[in-house]
Amino acid sequence: MSNSFWRDRRVLVTGCSGFLGSWLTARLIDSEADVVGLVRDKVPHSQLMRSGLLDRLHLVEGDVIDYALLERILVEYEINTIFHLAAQTIVTIANRAPLSTFETNIKGTWVVLEAARRSPTVKGIIIASSDKAYGNQAQLPNREDSPLLGRHPYDVSKSCADLIAQTYGTTYAMPVVVTRFANLYGGGDLNWNRIVPGTMRSILRGERPIIRSDGTFRRDYLFVEDAVGGYLELAQQLEHSDIRGQAFNFGMDQPTTALEMVRTILSLSDCPSLEPVILDQAQNEILDQFLDSEKAHRLLGWYPRHSLREGLQKTLNWYRQFLARK
């Protein structure tokens, strides 16, 4: 990544205090970007808060569905690049309360895009979709030309946001690209009902890890630092390549079952003999879902730098330190 590209560039990161947003914001600041971060709720233990970087960015408190606020941010800070990450990201919450998920994930996306359409300084907009936007496919792996078939609340919210982003790229010739990432993991994810942080917290407490499904669900997992690399590379390429309106998959392309994931984490821990508790209670979730990232390899030159075990080891070290300090 070229630091000269980001030096003094005015960048907006929505959801900057979230799991991915924290890591992306830190990398942008390290690259000397002039970062504006939009947050709705303060998260005291977020990676961004713990990093000590808050005094090195412009922090704006507000909701991503507030059009007047987004327009003001883009105009007053003369934003050049937008990373739209703000979203409700938990599948179980989406199932219980779909309206708030639809409001944030769908309306929030068109608000950002419409405000950007009216801002002459914006040169690049990267919209975070998800591999969940593909829904349940008969043929895997998912490629960028696979149909978007979300059916459950979270999946539908991502399918809709994805299509809206493509609409703005196609109809208005805006510099928009869409990211569809595999399941992200890494230090700083405090959503304990996700498999990686939940498993690691249990293991570090000497407790048996819990698997909500029957253990056979297959997913592709990507280390958060490799995801950040993908975002930054895509943003740079957007200003030099004809990729506007396109979507890109980012993953390891190595599907792993939930049980395999937990056993891999156990093998890296001090308690390898712990047996997971399999609840078999997952509902309204896709059985198998994984990606083909060949397009990102070919057009962006992007490849993950961490193997699954390397990423999980770094993640386990992060949680060990985090939980020891709480």
DSSP E strand boundaries for 218-322: 218-219, 221-223, 247-250, 256-257, 277-278, 288-289
In the predicted model, is pLDDT for residue 1 greater than 70? no
Q: Given pLDDT bands bounded at 50, 70 and 90, which one contains residue 242?
A: confident
- Give the whole-number percent of the chain exceeding pLDDT 70: 98
Within-domain flag for 189: no
Query: pLDDT confidence of 47, banded at 50, 70, 90?
Result: confident
pLDDT at residue number 326: 62
Instruction: Identify the weakest region by mean pLDDT among 10-19, 47-56, 83-92.
Output: 47-56
Is residue 153 in a domain? yes
Q: With respect to residue 281, please indicate whether it lies within any of the assigned structural domains.
A: no
Residue 155 has pLDDT above 60, yes or no: yes
By the 8 A CB rule, do 56 and 11 touch? no
pLDDT digits (tens, 9 = 90+) for 118-142: 999 999 999 999 999 999 998 999 9
Does the pLDDT of residue 107 top 90, yes or no? yes
pLDDT in tens, 177-202: 999 999 999 999 999 989 999 999 99
Radius of gyration of the chain (CA): 19
Q: How confident is the model at residue 48 (pLDDT cuts 50, 70, 90)?
A: confident
Domain count, the chain: 1
Whether pLDDT at 105 is above 60: yes
Find where tokens 């994931």 sit.
261
pLDDT tens per residue across span 293-310? 999 999 999 999 999 999
* pTM as predicted: 0.94
Please report whether residue 237 resides in a domain: yes
Provide the 3-class DSSP secondary structure of residue 321. helix
**Closest to 26 measured CA to CA, from 5, 1, 54:** 54
The catalytic residues are 154
Contact 289, 219 (CB under 8 A): yes
Please state the rounded mean pLDDT for residues 218-239. Answer: 96
| β-pair type (256-257, 218-219) | antiparallel
Residue of 125, 186, 190 lying closest to 161 (CA atoms) = 125
Q: Which residue has the higher pLDDT, 272 or 3?
A: 272
pLDDT at position 11 over 90: yes
- pLDDT averaged over every residue in the chain: 94
Q: For residue 110, what are the contacts with CB-CB under 8 A and spacing of at least 6? A: 164
259 occurs within a structural domain: no
Report the distance separating Cα 224 and Cα 241, nearest Å. 25
Question: Is 169 within the bounds of a domain?
Answer: yes
pLDDT category of residue 280 using cuts at 50, 70 and 90: confident
User: Which domain does 48 fall in, by range?
Assistant: 7-183+223-251+291-305
Residue bearing the bigger pLDDT, 151 or 48: 151
Supply the CATH number for residue 123's domain. 3.40.50.720
Nearest one of 86, 254, 225 to 233, comparing CA atoms: 225
Structure tokens at 222: 């990507």
Q: Tell me: pLDDT of 2 over 60.
A: no
Maximum Cα–Cα distance for the chain, whole Å?
58
Q: What is the predicted pLDDT for the residue at 288?
A: 87
Residue-level pLDDT at 325: 80
For 190, phi then psi, to 5°, come to -105, 15
Report DSSP state, residue 132: G
Whether residue 316 is contained in a domain is answered as: no
Residue 257 lies in a domain: no
